[in-house]
Amino acid sequence: MSMISVTEAVARLRASSQVLVDSEAVDLRAAAGRVLASDIVSVINVPPADNSAMDGYALARQDWHGPDQALEISQRITAGTPPLPLTKGTAARIFTGAEIPDGADVVVMQEKCETDGRSVLIEIVREAGGNIRPKGQDIMQGTTVLKAGHRLRAQDLGLIASLGIARIDVRLRLKVAIISTGAELVEPGDEIRPGQIYNSNRYMLEALIEKWGFEVLDFGITVDDPKIISDVMAKASREADAIITTGGVSVGEEDHVKAVVESLGHIDLWRIAIKPGKPFAFGDVMGTPFLGLPGNPASALVTALIVARPFLFDCQGISHPDIVPLRQIALFDIKGGPREVYHRIRSGSEGAEIFGQQSSGALYSTCWGDGMAVQKPFEDIAKGDVIDVIPYVLFN
Ligand code: AMP
Ligand code: MG
């Protein structure tokens, strides 16, 4: 079995992906992190009318003839109340956000004015339109402001609210089943016996799945027994939109995931040219997509971020650009090899430091720092080189 490149693995997965979830209408306040199922088009102008950007005086520019000429104050316009048309030859007291009266074409900030309460002396009037926020300045009626597939952030919710929209169509959350395989696994908090280790992948993957806005279906630990694995897989395929397992996809005799998935659907075992993370399985369990991540925790994290994430985002209907690494100075030397390496690093003002223990079983390597340096196959990295670095926060 030859190795496939990371790019190739991601491309193959994405080529077979499709949106797996329907949509539902939700209140705006429940929509943070959800994925738009239809475009948001504005049926109004924002702001709806010309309004003042300053506290000051509104007037017609042609009515101002110099700093010594007092203009009568004919009305007082506060935000939230509609103005009257401006009486010719007068000024209107106006406040930030208040509508510009018909007949005015400029606002002068109050710092440039002197008033006795009844009339105002205006030091200088600049060009027409000054200090006026025109109707539609933020959004013009008819504009598509957000597209289907967009994952909603705080500012998007504010924007949708500014359009007067209270309910929106979003995708149902993708249900992702998480199954930890391995007879050696024990949950933290449970009693541990010789030969056993604690299950770390479950907690890590579930947190990722939730952070990405999906719903976790937790299937706990499944021991290395074909019958048990088969029952759990079948149940997961009925309840979930996608299934993720960790462990059991190497070629050891105790790695039963392969045979089980084969009997319930199909499985392709890949050797991805990625380090950590080489063994990876992709297939389906009774029609439900199946991703088999490696058991080693650092490998499980890297393959979840680099390989599984783009596929799951597609299944959720998220439009997502490829992650663009940042540039950083290497503070280490390392020879390239046949695989694409995701070195666990920490970025500082001087550059990127590498963590000393890069074993695929060493999860602390991922917690010590803030991201990964990407080393392409057979490219050496020397101290001082500009390298690609992906901070973990970019996998948001
Ligand atoms: P496997 O792919 O099943 O051969 O597992 C590879 C390595 O990862 C073994 O050392 C396992 O004990 C370890 N491992 C598998 N699953 C987990 C898990 N959920 N948490 C921590 N270590 C694991
Ligand atoms: Mg195992």
- DSSP codes, 240-256: -SEEEEES--SSSTT--
| pTM, 2 dp | 0.93
Query: Taking residues 116-143, what's their average pLDDT?
Result: 96
Q: Rounded to whole angstroms, how far apart are CA atoms 226 and 257?
A: 7
Q: How many CB atoms lie within 10 A of CB 128?
A: 12
Alpha helical stretches, state H, 153-213: 154-162, 201-211
Residue position matching structure tokens 């520019």 = 61
Residue 283: strand pairing partners: 267, 290
Using DSSP, state whether 312 is helix, strand or coil.
helix
Task: Give the residues surrounding ligand 1 with Cβ less than 6 Å away.
Answer: 180, 182, 184-185, 197, 199-202, 246-248, 250, 252, 294-297, 361
Probe residue for ligand 1, chosen from 257, 296, 363 as the CB with the greatest number of ligand atoms within 8 Å: 296
Q: Rounded to whole angstroms, how far apart are CA atoms 277 and 269?
A: 13
Closest ligand 1 atom number to CA of residue 252? 4
Residue position matching structure tokens 């016996």 = 193
Burial 40-62 (b: 16+ CB within 10 A, else e): bebebbbbeebbbebbbbbbbee
User: Does the pLDDT value for residue 42 go beyond 70?
Assistant: yes
Query: Taking residues 245-260, what's their average pLDDT?
Result: 81
User: Does the pLDDT value for residue 1 go beyond 70?
Assistant: no
Q: CB–CB of 157/31 below 8 Å?
A: yes
Compute, in angstroms, the gap from residue 267 CA to the centroid of ligand 2.
Answer: 17
Which ligand has the nearest atom to the CA of 247?
A: 1
Torsion of CA 213, 217, 219, 221, to 10 degrees: 10
User: In sequence order, what DSSP letters do the residues of 89-108 get, joined into one string?
Assistant: TEEEEE-TTPBPPTT--EEE
Residue nearest to ligand 1 atom 15, measured at CA: 295
pLDDT at res. 248? 84
Query: Taking residues 33-43, what's their average pLDDT?
Result: 98
Q: What tens digit of pLDDT does each residue of 144-187 get? A: 999 999 999 999 999 999 999 999 999 999 999 999 998 899 99
Compute, in angstroms, the gap from residue 360 CA to the centroid of ligand 1.
Answer: 10
Q: Of 105, 95, 98, which is closest to residue 127 (Cα–Cα)?
A: 105
The one-letter amino acid code at 88 reads K
Using DSSP, state whether 275 is helix, strand or coil.
strand
pLDDT band at 225 (very low <50, low <70, confident <90, very high): confident
Compute, in angstroms, the gap from residue 351 CA to the centroid of ligand 2.
Answer: 37
pLDDT at res. 354? 98
Q: Rounded to whole angstroms, how far apart are CA atoms 7 and 321?
A: 14
pLDDT at res. 198? 97
Compute, in angstroms, the gap from residue 395 CA to the centroid of ligand 2.
Answer: 27
Q: CB–CB of 273/3 below 8 Å?
A: yes
* Tokens encoding 130: 């000054």
Per 3-state DSSP, what percentage of the chain is helix, strand, and coil (rounded to 5)?
20, 35, 45
Residue 144: strand pairing partners: 41
Question: What single DSSP character describes residue 304?
Answer: I
Closest ligand 1 atom number to CA of residue 294? 2
Q: What tens digit of pLDDT does each residue of 47-105 get? A: 999 999 999 999 999 999 999 999 999 999 999 999 999 999 999 999 999 999 999 99
pLDDT at res. 308? 98
Q: CB–CB of 381/334 below 8 Å?
A: yes
Q: Of 23, 319, 29, 320, which is closest to residue 157 (Cα–Cα)?
A: 29
Q: Of 275, 300, 313, which is closest to residue 203 (Cα–Cα)?
A: 300
Terminal-to-terminal C-alpha distance of the chain: 33
Q: What tens digit of pLDDT does each residue of 288-318 get? A: 999 999 999 999 999 999 999 999 999 999 9
Compute, in angstroms, the gap from residue 148 CA to the centroid of ligand 1.
Answer: 39
User: Does the pLDDT value for residue 267 go beyond 80?
Assistant: yes
